Amino acid sequence: MSSKLFRLEATYQNYAWGKIGSKSAVAQYAAHSNKSVKIDESKPYAELWMGTHSNGPSRQAETGELLKDMIKKDPVNMLGEKIVEKFQNKEELPFLFKVLSIEKVLSIQAHPDKALGKMLHEQDPKNYPDNNHKPEMAVAVTDFEGFCGFKPLNEIADELKRLPEFKAIVGEDVAQEFINGIKPDAIEGSEDDKSNKKLLQKVFNKVMTASDEFIAKESEKLVDRAQQSPKDFNKSDLPELIIRLNKQFPQDVGLFCGCLLLNHCRLKPGEAIFLRAKDPHAYISGDIIECMAASDNVVRAGFTPKFKDVKNLVEMLTYKYGSVEDQKMQQESFERSSGNGESVLYNPPIEEFAVLETTFKQSTGVRHFKPFEGPSILITTKGNGFISTEGVKLKAEPGFVFFIAPNTQVDLESMDQDFTTYRAFVEA
């Protein structure tokens, strides 16, 4: 058995919003990679966790040993000396890698930055289980939709003018103050931009602190408007979205704080978005590869039966606003690989992770990767092939997950043009 390259068994999660049974990519991957997993066609399979997080730890596939324990025994060789020094952790990966299969909308949420994560964990460890931040990135594997960030302010102002139900929730005074006071063309960081964000916070606060009874009453009218007068809305996809999400979470505040305040984002396979700490978002449908800092801290707003921390949420958000395009990530070429196939890099502006996608759409063959200075985890999502390093060659099939130690050169060999892998990694 190699300590440089080996198979992992990942942990899957049966959250209620996941796709049911074998319709779920998570279920397919889990069952294909581990023959002892039998798919229950009545259960949702939502997330596949790849990493060292205690809520869903990965194990060495042959021995069953926890990856975390393996790292703890030999942190320098498993993480790399620079990574240990940088993150001051000799037991865990600084990132958590996931596959998500989404049937129903997840809770509208945001994640704290490091300072707030530490404070929330100290105050309420039950609801905030660690002290880390959780910036995250999502790469669409199938067609995906979600909420990401606040809409441009002029769109929100237009909705307040068009939709009496929205204006009723916000209140006449705050609605007019917002409509009359915003400067849609403000330069980021300017005094006008700061004023815009304060006005947006007022609107969001009014929505989030409205009584359940008031939300139920006005959401019923909003859904009726979506059914009877779809042209009243400023975006053609909004009526259907409101009707659909109301079926999943009837008369929920998310119809206002999500559908009317946040961007409705659609991604094609290969497209990606990056969500900074303190940015509101929610996933609605599709299959994605997700990578994040190693945390499970969530501050929730709507579309959830779970704990909602309205006070902290309203206070913590950045209130950054803009178009969907502002949230999308650009693919970068990756110079440290060569041969057949193509590798593209998703490189968010944070230290904990980047993700590399490798495909062989044009030609099968071998793609070579120079050593990375930190650890990485790789998953095959489609097709068949092999992953190898000196003295080791392992099958790579859908759902197969691998750990690659620092300073290890590897080759990916495709057996067909569908062969696709995603590799999360960290470097100092």
Q: How confident is the model at residue 156 (pLDDT cuts 50, 70, 90)?
A: very high
* Beta-strand runs (E) in 25-176: 44-45, 47-50, 59-60, 95-102, 108-110, 136-140, 144-150
Q: Residue 425 pLDDT > 90, yes or no? A: yes
The dihedral formed by the CA atoms of 22, 29, 133 and 112, expressed in degrees to the nearest 10: -10
The pLDDT value given to residue 90: 82
Average pLDDT estimate for 78-82? 95
Residue 111 and residue 133: Cα distance in Å, rounded? Answer: 7
Q: Tell me what the mean pLDDT of segment 1-5 comes to.
A: 84
Binding residues for Zn(2+): 109, 111, 136, 281
CA geometry: angle 352, 411, 98, nearest 5 deg = 35
Residue 357 dihedral angles phi and psi, to the nearest 5°: -105, 130
CA 151 to chain centre: 19
For 422, phi then psi, to 5°, come to -125, 135
CB 324 within 8 A of CB 274: no
Per cent of the chain over pLDDT 90 is: 80
What whole-number distance in Å separates Cα of residue 177 and Cα of residue 179?
A: 6
The stretch 107-121 carries a mean pLDDT of 78
- Residues 69-79 as b/e (b if ≥16 CB within 10 A, e otherwise) read ebbeeebebbb
Whole-number Å distance between alpha carbons of 168 and 166: 5
pLDDT for position 286: 97
DSSP lists the bridge partners of residue 287 as 101
The predicted model gives 63-68 an average pLDDT of 96
Residues with catalytic annotation?
300
More confident residue, 88 or 150: 150
For residue 109, the model assigns a pLDDT of 87
CA 141 to chain centre: 12
Cα gap 84→1, rounded to integer Å: 24
Predicted pLDDT at 407: 95
Q: What is the pLDDT of residue 130?
A: 63
**Whether the Cβ atoms of residue 317 and residue 116 lie closer than 8 Å to each other:** no
For the beta carbon of residue 389, count every other beta carbon within 10 angstroms: 18
Question: How confident is the model over 42-60, as a mean pLDDT?
Answer: 96
Mean pLDDT lowest for which of 45-54, 168-177, 298-307, 358-367? 298-307
Hey, what are 90's tokens? 């000799």
Position 25 pLDDT exceeds 80: yes
The pLDDT-based confidence of 158 (bands split at 50, 70, 90) is very high
Looking at per-residue confidence, does 377 or 276 come out higher?
377
pLDDT given at position 131: 62
**pLDDT given for residue 365 in this prediction:** 97
pLDDT on residue 94: 92
DSSP letters spanning 193-221: HHHHHHHHHHHHHHHHTS-HHHHHHHHHH
The residue ranking higher by pLDDT, 243 or 304, is 243
Nearest to residue 157, comparing CAs of 203, 189, 218?
203
Q: Is the pLDDT of residue 132 over 70?
A: no
Over range 282-302, report the average pLDDT: 87
| pLDDT score recorded for residue 378 | 98
User: In this predicted structure, what is the pLDDT of residue 327?
Assistant: 80
Note the helical H segments in 251-303: 254-257
Count other C-beta atoms under 10 Å from residue 64's C-beta.
8
- pLDDT over 90 at 112, yes or no: no
Q: Which residues contact 127 (CB under 8 A, 6 or more apart)?
A: 120, 307, 309
Query: Model's pTM, two decimal places?
Result: 0.92
Q: Is the pLDDT of residue 129 over 70?
A: no
For the stretch 200-231, pLDDT in tens is: 999 999 999 999 999 999 999 999 999 999 99
Tell me the residue ranges of DSSP E strands in 251-308. 262-267, 272-275, 281-293, 299-302
Higher per-residue confidence, 96 vs 294: 96
Identify the pLDDT of residue 124.
Answer: 76
Judged against a pLDDT cut of 80, whether residue 115 lies above it is answered with: no
At 1 the pLDDT is: 63
The residue-averaged pLDDT of 10-16 equals 96
